[in-house]
């Protein structure tokens, strides 16, 4: 009798596990691939990003508009006020912002050398071609979202919450070794 109860419990738990994986994974992965297809078709992306960079011993907040793609782009710094109005060219290979002959070194927030200046080109690249290691339907504030996680390196991951109606990003987090080092909140997203 005890073996029958144990077997019934194992079958029930297995059914729950497999049905939850199928309902979240199958449709979630399908939607993640549809979102990816939209970013792969895009030649240019424009958005406003509020970025928080956590260096452990200090935290910096930036707000800027971005126009570009996964290789490079241009940002127009909105805040902090001390550098507001500056325009900068950024790429995944450059951790510095250059403008009018001066250089602002934002510094790396990960052991692999990722800086806040590189965050958006890296995120766009991950949205297009990153290895999807997880996706879940989640509520983010009032929005119904699909949270998609990709592995950038062995220790660095990104997680982005996409609105399930518009397929546009709402929020991203970059983590290194499980610690969130960069958070981005997006507005005014336009894909061309």
CATH number at residue 54: 2.50.20
Residues 6+ apart with CB under 8 A from 171: 140, 160, 161, 183, 184, 185, 186
pLDDT value at residue 100: 53
pLDDT of the residue at 90: 76
Query: Which tens digits make up the pLDDT trace of 66-120?
Result: 998 888 788 888 998 888 888 878 776 654 455 554 455 566 777 777 777 778 8
SS3 string of the chain? CHHHHHHHHHHHHHHHHHHHHHHHHHHHHHHHHHHHHHHHHCCCEEEEEEEEEECCCCEEEEEEEEEECCCEEEEEEEECHHHCCCEEEEECCEEEEEECCEEEECCCCCCCCCCHHHHHHHHHHHHHHCEEEEEEEEEECCEEEEEEEEECCCCEEEEEEEECCCCCEEEEEEEECCEEEEEEEEEEEEEC
Give the pLDDT confidence score for residue 20 in this predicted structure: 30
pLDDT band at 4 (very low <50, low <70, confident <90, very high): very low
What tokens does 178 get? 């499980």
Give per-residue pLDDT as tens, 16-47. 333 333 334 578 999 999 999 999 999 899 99
Query: What pLDDT is stored for residue 166 in this prediction?
Result: 96
pLDDT score of 25:
52
69 is in which domain, residue-wise? Answer: 2-191
pLDDT in tens, 130-187: 999 999 999 999 999 999 999 999 999 999 999 999 999 999 999 999 999 999 999 9
Confidence of residue 189 (pLDDT cuts 50, 70, 90): very high
pLDDT at 16: 33
pLDDT at 110: 78
Supply the pLDDT for residue 22.
Answer: 35
In the chain, the number of structural domains is: 1
The pLDDT value given to residue 130: 94
Per-residue model confidence (pLDDT) at position 6: 37
What's the confidence (pLDDT) of residue 106?
Answer: 64
């Amino acid at each position: 009798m005890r073996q029958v109860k144990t077997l019934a419990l194992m079958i029930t738990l297995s059914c729950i596990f497999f049905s939850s994986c199928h309902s979240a994974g199958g449709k979630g992965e399908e939607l993640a691939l549809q979102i990816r297809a939209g970013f792969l078709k895009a030649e240019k992306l424009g958005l406003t990003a509020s970025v928080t960079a956590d260096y452990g011993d200090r935290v910096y907040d930036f707000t800027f508009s971005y126009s570009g793609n996964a290789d490079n782009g241009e940002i127009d710094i909105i805040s902090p006020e001390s550098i507001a109005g500056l325009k900068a060219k950024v790429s995944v290979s450059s951790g510095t912002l250059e403008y009018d002959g001066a250089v602002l070194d934002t510094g790396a927030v990960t052991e692999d050398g990722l800086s806040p200046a590189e965050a958006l080109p890296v995120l766009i690249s991950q949205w297009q071609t990153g290895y999807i290691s997880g996706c879940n339907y989640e509520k983010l504030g009032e929005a119904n979202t699909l949270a998609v996680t990709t592995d950038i390196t062995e220790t660095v991951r990104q997680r982005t919450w996409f609105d399930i109606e518009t397929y546009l990003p709402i929020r991203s987090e970059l983590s290194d070794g499980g610690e969130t080092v960069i958070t981005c909140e997006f507005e005014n997203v336009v894909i061309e």
